Structure 1
Amino acid sequence: MKNSAESPSYRVAVIPARGGSQRIPRKNIRLLDGKPLIAYSIETAKASGLFDRIIVSTDDDEIASVARQFGSETPFLRPADLADHMTGTTPVMQHALNQIMKEGKTPDQACLIYATCPMLTPEDLQQGLAQLDKTTAFCFSATTFAFPIQRALHIQKNGELAPMFPEHIGKRSQDLIEAIHDAGQFYWASTKDWFEQEIFGPRSKPLMLPRHRIQDLDTEEDWLRLTQIMALKNKS
């Protein structure tokens, strides 16, 4: 848990992991290189030395049991109305913080860490926390798009191809503004800002990560790619 040499700030990590993942069933506890996927996030949070408590927010008894085996707390089960595929990150985090505060102590900072980011490092979490100050409400992981989004194409209802941004389609890549996107790994904020600010608001700051350490996990193809990346990582 937290290094005793750290400041007396009270910090918690919350890892959301609902049981009803649809496109990759039981994704959060599926074995990756012999270990449940969620275990990587728990172990990274522990290795960062930043947290007084690491809590998994889940609606599923089996996920809760696996989480405890790897050193996380599961002091509550998430209600069903916050465990469907339509529920966003913020209400899940607000529910967890409310449960924690009922115990009588309010965290100074809280970090939501997804259960699906095995390439996240302790240093990423440490650098994210370091970004929080009086002008920064949220720090979140981000990366660049691999291709200029201004030159995106789409297929129209009539089946014809068209540029999404016709005014940019003929421009050179180097003449376009580089776009970034949420990398879906972690979100740091004070407890106050979790209730009062938007994650992607004007007071948010991205921590840029390299694209080779970012992998969505929405399909079996995504899972296969992740297993290949992890195999290369272990070999090197």
Structure 2
Amino acid sequence: MYKDKKILAIIPARGGSKGIPYKNIMDICGKPLIAYTIEAAKKSKYIDYTMVSTDDSKIKEVSLKHKASVPFLRPEQISNDSAKSIDVVIHGINFLSEKGECFDYVILLQPTSPLRNCNDIDNAIEVLMNSKEDSLISVCEVDENPAIMRTIKDNRLEPIIEFTGDNLRRQELPKVYIFNGALYINKVRMLLEEKNFFNEKTLPYIMKREKSVDIDSMLDAKLVELILKENSDD
């Protein structure tokens, strides 16, 4: 709880994964991937309830072992390849509401972002709840600026965006950011009314690129393991 507001953390973890089978519980430095996110949420000073939303009994078992709540197995209609994260979160909110558990804010924590820690979570909560806005999404700066990117049309190079500078020296380009997938924080009211994590007033929470790795491939997993091992040696 922060400023008398109850905060729910939802960790979405379906069993199906085409790229890496059972990615959400794959071994990362001797621990299942989802455990890093569960532990970060449990260590938060402000999160009141940490819930894993999964359709898979094996993921449920691992999540319970690491002290997350798993009050249901997610229905199939929000567990397939076309399922949207917003539907998963709203389903979790409504399920708990029907059980008499109501929250003011919800934070979506994807298990594929294991380098995000409890300090990131708590700092982001403070940033949002000390503002007048309803939502916050974590971002990181991108290396490849779209100002220097080109598409090919009629066998000619064309800019993706128009840049009015005299040259394209990297140092003079405007900074550009991308959602890194680590943190989505919203007022519950906003999610239920707008059915969207993002609107024109959403705040950014800037994270370092080395904490923003989102595991989508085995190469990403190896990079995360390297970073975790280096951090453990500090």
Given residue 220 of structure 2, which amino acid in structure 1 is its aligned partner? D
Is the 1:48–1:123 contact (alpha carbons within 8 Å) kept by the matching residues of 2? yes
Residue from 101, 106, 113 that aligns with 1:105 = 101
Is the 1:43–1:70 contact (alpha carbons within 8 Å) kept by the matching residues of 2? yes
- Identity, % of aligned pairs? 29
**Aligned counterparts of 2:84 and 2:35: Cα–Cα separation in 1:** 22
Aligned residues: 231
Deviation at 1:234, TM superposition (A): 1.6
Residue from 147, 150, 153 that aligns with 1:153 = 150
**Aligned counterparts of 1:41 and 1:187: Cα–Cα separation in 2:** 13
Is the 2:63–2:69 contact (alpha carbons within 8 Å) kept by the matching residues of 1? yes
Match of residue 132 from structure 2: 135
Output aligned runs, 1:64-75, within 5 Å.
64-75=60-71
Is the 2:115–2:224 contact (alpha carbons within 8 Å) kept by the matching residues of 1? no
Is the 1:135–1:203 contact (alpha carbons within 8 Å) kept by the matching residues of 2? no
Q: Structure 1 pair 213/100, CA: closer, same or farther in 2 (3 Å)?
A: same
Q: Structure 1 pair 167/47, CA: closer, same or farther in 2 (3 Å)?
A: closer
2:205 equivalent to 1:207: yes
**Aligned counterparts of 1:234 and 1:155: Cα–Cα separation in 2:** 45
Deviation at 1:196, TM superposition (A): 2.5
**Aligned counterparts of 1:227 and 1:16: Cα–Cα separation in 2:** 22
Match of residue 178 from structure 1: 175
Deviation at 1:174, TM superposition (A): 3.5
Stretches of structure 1 lacking an aligned partner (at least 5 in a row): none
**Aligned counterparts of 1:62 and 1:212: Cα–Cα separation in 2:** 30
Is the 2:90–2:192 contact (alpha carbons within 8 Å) kept by the matching residues of 1? yes
The Cα offsets for residues 128-156 of structure 1, whole Å up to 9 and x where unpaired, read as 11122463111121111112121113456
Residue from 9, 20, 23 that aligns with 2:5 = 9
Secondary structure of 1:132 counterpart: helix
**Aligned counterparts of 1:199 and 1:225: Cα–Cα separation in 2:** 28
Deviation at 1:181, TM superposition (A): 0.8
**Aligned counterparts of 2:80 and 2:157: Cα–Cα separation in 1:** 35
Residue from 82, 85, 89 that aligns with 1:86 = 82
**Aligned counterparts of 1:11 and 1:207: Cα–Cα separation in 2:** 18
**Aligned counterparts of 1:155 and 1:69: Cα–Cα separation in 2:** 51
Say which is worse superposed, 120-129 or 28-37, in terms of deviation.
120-129
Is the 1:106–1:191 contact (alpha carbons within 8 Å) kept by the matching residues of 2? no
2:229 equivalent to 1:231: yes
**Aligned counterparts of 2:184 and 2:161: Cα–Cα separation in 1:** 31
2:189 equivalent to 1:192: yes
In angstroms, what is the RMSD of aligned CA positions? 2.1
Normalised by the size of structure 2, how large is the TM-score? 0.90
**Aligned counterparts of 1:231 and 1:34: Cα–Cα separation in 2:** 11
**Aligned counterparts of 1:48 and 1:28: Cα–Cα separation in 2:** 21
Deviation at 1:212, TM superposition (A): 1.2
Say which is worse superposed, 94-103 or 130-139, in terms of deviation.
130-139
Match of residue 114 from structure 1: 110
Normalised by the size of structure 1, how large is the TM-score? 0.89
Is the 1:56–1:74 contact (alpha carbons within 8 Å) kept by the matching residues of 2? yes
**Aligned counterparts of 2:154 and 2:58: Cα–Cα separation in 1:** 44
Say which is worse superposed, 162-171 or 146-155, in terms of deviation.
162-171
Is the 2:139–2:180 contact (alpha carbons within 8 Å) kept by the matching residues of 1? yes
Deviation at 1:165, TM superposition (A): 3.7
Secondary structure of 2:92 counterpart: helix
